[in-house]
């Protein structure tokens, strides 16, 4: 990456002016060009002005986003916005090359700015985003992770070139079977699951109201006057019918009717 031949910017004096020009598209390109000269700053100077550089980059991102520009490598861009997008990604590359020079409290904001460079999307199109933005492809891939997918360049066979397809990442959650299980703990889990599966768990007793105590509860003390009578264990007596016409004993009406019927029978024979 090569910057234009221009004096190195003095952020101590011109940071406010650069911020004002970065907030307007009319002066955006000139201000971004001056900010690119920060690559020639000494290490101590760069660390001292790290917070200002991050703030200026956030102003640039807000300006381009407000103008409707999609700040991603895989999105298309109109010809009028190509210079703005190109200089912005050049600034992002500068930040990534100097990321170790930023303090720990600025790393979170720096990662959010560098997020467009860590995309893993693969695009098959006739336009090469690197050549369109005037970026060197090797600079983009220099700081990318090993498992990051690469772009399909025009004129290739059409197959996507992925780096280390079959490589297993370092931080992968192992399946549950990969962890050793204690024998006693495993047996208790199996017993518990079997108990709930086949319904062998002890049934809960039904709550009884206090006015209706359990039958097995003794309400009287043995050997007292109020003790209940002894339960008869022998055969129960026969069924008894109550009423005038339901009893087993014959009434006078029934006996008189039988006598009349018998007397009429006798007279008929004569």
pLDDT tens for residues 208-263?
A: 556 655 555 555 555 555 555 555 555 555 566 655 655 555 555 555 555 455 45
CB count in 10 Å sphere of residue 10: 13
Q: Average per-residue pLDDT in the chain?
A: 69
Burial class (CB in 10 A: 0-12, 13-18, 19+), 209: exposed
Q: What is the mean pLDDT of residues 174-185?
A: 57
When mean pLDDT is compared across 52-61, 147-156, 193-202, the lowest value belongs to 147-156
**What's the CA dihedral at 45, 46, 47, 50 to 10 degrees?**
130
**What's the CA dihedral at 122, 98, 106, 36 to 10 degrees?**
-90
Q: How far is Cα 241 from Cα 191, in angstroms, rounded to an integer?
A: 59
Instruction: Take residue 29 and report the two structure tokens written for it.
Output: 């390109």
pLDDT tens for residues 56-97?
A: 999 999 999 999 998 888 777 888 998 999 899 999 999 999
pLDDT tens for residues 20-50?
A: 999 999 999 999 999 999 988 889 999 999 9
pTM higher than 0.75 for the full model?
A: no
Instruction: Take residue 187 and report the two structure tokens written for it.
Output: 């047996």
Residue 105 has pLDDT above 70, yes or no: yes
């Amino acid at each position: 990456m090569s910057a234009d031949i221009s004096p190195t910017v003095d952020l101590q004096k011109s940071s406010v002016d650069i911020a004002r020009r970065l907030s307007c598209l009319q002066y955006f390109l000139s201000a971004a060009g001056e900010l690119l000269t920060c690559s020639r700053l000494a290490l101590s100077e760069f660390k001292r002005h790290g917070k200002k550089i991050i703030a200026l980059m956030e102003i640039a991102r807000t300006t381009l986003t407000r103008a409707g520009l999609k700040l991603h490598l895989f999105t298309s861009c109109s010809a009028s916005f190509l210079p703005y997008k190109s200089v912005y990604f050049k600034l992002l590359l500068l930040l990534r090359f100097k990321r170790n020079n930023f303090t720990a409290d600025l790393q979170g904001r720096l990662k959010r700015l560098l997020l467009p460079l860590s995309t893993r999307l693969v695009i098959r199109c006739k336009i090469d985003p690197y050549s369109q933005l005037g970026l060197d492809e090797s600079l983009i891939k220099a700081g990318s992770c090993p498992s990051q997918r690469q772009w399909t360049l025009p004129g290739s066979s059409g197959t996507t070139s992925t780096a280390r397809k079959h490589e297993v990442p370092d931080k992968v959650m192992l399946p549950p079977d990969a962890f050793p299980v204690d024998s006693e703990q495993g047996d208790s889990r199996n017993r518990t699951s079997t108990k709930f599966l086949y319904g062998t768990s002890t049934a809960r007793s039904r709550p009884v109201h206090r006015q209706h105590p359990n039958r097995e509860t003794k309400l009287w003390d043995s050997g007292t006057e109020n003790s209940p009578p002894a339960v008869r264990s022998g055969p129960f007596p026969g069924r008894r019918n109550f009423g005038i016409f339901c009893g087993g004993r014959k009434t006078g009406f029934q006996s008189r009717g039988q006598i009349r019927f018998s007397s009429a029978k006798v007279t008929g024979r004569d």
